[in-house]
Amino acid sequence: MKVSVVVPVYNTEQYLHRCLESLRNQTLKEIEIILVDDGSEDCSGDICDNYAAQGARIHVIHKANGGLVSARQTGLSTASGEYVGFVDSDDWIEPDMYRTLYETAAYHGADIVAEGIIDEIGNESRTRRNLLQAGIYDTVEKRVKLYKSMISCQNFFSLGIQPYLCNKLIRRELAFLHMTKIPQSIRVGEDAAAVYPMLVQANVIAVSDTAHYHYCHRNTSMMLGIRQEEREYKNAVLLHSFLEKTFKELEVYEVMKEQLRRYTINNLLTRAYDKCAVPDRKNILFPFMDVCQGDTIIIYGAGAFGKAVYQYAVSCEGLKVKAWIDQSAVTYQRLGLDVCTLKDVDIEASDKILIAVLSESVYWQIREELVIKGIRLEQIKWIDIEQLFCLWQNLFMMRE
């Protein structure tokens, strides 16, 4: 068997048929599909059994609910393929995904093949590729270059290699080595806990500019749904501690330290914003400076960070949120979010516009757009990066 695909399944009966059809129709035929029913309470388990009855390449494991890490570890323990892949049961993949990834892996002797991903948001598809240059990283010099930028590159926070397991093909032994070490208590960021250590230990890494995996965003998804901030904060701390320990064991911590810090700050801002936005008399919407009691604000950006800022701001009695805007407002509206476009808002001279993105390059693009529209620079606010590093010290109290 060339490839084993592990599919954790939990209460996804509405989307499961499409996912399994996309797997069953793969052009690579030397493939096994391992469905791990993680204690589903709907008809997902029955759907898995029906598909397994139709073909010998599909296997089902039923287990008590234990979470995503537990389900992946269970599926991986029975995998027999030379390489393994992971697919979420509410997503789908294109027919030639595993043939393409396997041929790349076999030709170059790669331990990991990493490609891009296709975001499905409403009726819109967006392809996101890795920011690091496509190519084969097969020497010490090339791998060290990859390590230095794989988590954060270009500006304050931009992922060099996307942390997702679903858009990668991994040599089975390497996957097993690291997947079995991940604590099952890590509930968000578990992909990063596996992917980045595996990249460090791989001898040959292939980065491709292809994209075959369709990641379906929904308003009930973890990235868009309502979060429990205290739990998310504890998870961010746990994930950071695990990666820090692992990078030290792999003797790459000095290379990874700054990137890991930026990655954790990103997790805090997008998932535990109320722990970060501790108000004071002068600034009541950290890390945006000069946002004061009684201000009228417009939030620009509806991604993970923008959503976190918006949810906090509308709950803050001292602020008036006039609008939430994004260039892709129509797409977000289909997900039920109250987002509009810049042209839909009558901006007054006293309004403050908060650019709620973490990418510096994206910030400059938005700022230029606003200036062209006649918005004065003093109305435009962005994150204060130095203050973010103060946040790091305050929340983690870490001493280098």
* Total count of domains within the chain: 2
Last residue of a domain, one of 226, 246, 280: 226
Whether residue 83 is found in the same domain as residue 174: yes
Is 258 contained in some domain? no
Last residue of a domain, one of 204, 226, 248: 226
Whether residue 215 is found in the same domain as residue 332: no
pLDDT at 15: 97
Whether residue 75 is found in the same domain as residue 194: yes
Flag whether pLDDT at 221 surpasses 50. no
Flag whether pLDDT at 280 surpasses 70. no
Is 313 contained in some domain? yes
pLDDT at 397: 54
Contact assessment for residue 353 and residue 380, using Cβ atoms and an 8 Å cutoff: yes
**Residue range 122-134: average pLDDT?**
91
Flag whether pLDDT at 225 surpasses 50. no
Q: What is the CATH number of the domain that holds 375?
A: 3.40.50.20
- Cis preceding-peptide flag for 287 (omega within 30 of 0): yes
Q: In which band, very low, low, confident or very high, does the pLDDT at 385 lie, cut at 50, 70 and 90? A: confident
Is 54 contained in some domain? yes
Q: In which band, very low, low, confident or very high, does the pLDDT at 277 lie, cut at 50, 70 and 90? A: confident
Is 59 contained in some domain? yes
Whether residue 197 is found in the same domain as residue 304: no
Last residue of a domain, one of 226, 256, 279: 226
Whether residue 326 is found in the same domain as residue 187: no
Flag whether pLDDT at 361 surpasses 90. no
pLDDT at 400: 40
Whether residue 220 is found in the same domain as residue 301: no
Question: If DSSP codes are grouped into helix, strand and coil, which group holds residue 355?
Answer: strand
Whether residue 72 is found in the same domain as residue 152: yes
Tokens of residue 88, six digits:
């979420």
Q: What is the CATH number of the domain that holds 113?
A: 3.90.550.10
Indicate the helix (H) or strand (E) that contains 177: helix 172-179
* pLDDT mean across residues, the chain: 91
Whether residue 201 is found in the same domain as residue 306: no
Separation of alpha carbons 260 and 386, rounded Å: 16
Whether residue 321 is found in the same domain as residue 208: no
Whether residue 198 is found in the same domain as residue 318: no
Whether residue 84 is found in the same domain as residue 195: yes
Is 68 contained in some domain? yes
Whether residue 20 is found in the same domain as residue 147: yes
Contact assessment for residue 16 and residue 43, using Cβ atoms and an 8 Å cutoff: no
- Which residue is it, tokens 């990874």? 256
- Number of alpha carbons in the 13 Å side-chain half-sphere of residue 82: 13
**Tens-place pLDDT, residues 41-64:** 999 999 999 999 998 899 999 999
Separation of alpha carbons 10 and 148, rounded Å: 36
Is 252 contained in some domain? no
pLDDT at 219: 64
Lowest mean pLDDT among 46-55, 106-115, 281-290, 308-317: 281-290
Question: Exposed e or buried b for every residue in 106-118, given b needs 16+ CB within 10 A?
Answer: eebebbbbbbbbb
Contacts (Cβ under 8 Å, ≥6 apart) of 81: 1, 2, 3, 4, 31, 32, 172
Provide the domain limits for residue 30. 3-226
Separation of alpha carbons 359 and 181, rounded Å: 31
Is 12 contained in some domain? yes
In this structure, the chain runs to a length of: 400
Is 134 contained in some domain? yes
- What pTM value is reported for the model? 0.90
Question: If DSSP codes are grouped into helix, strand and coil, which group holds residue 171?
Answer: strand
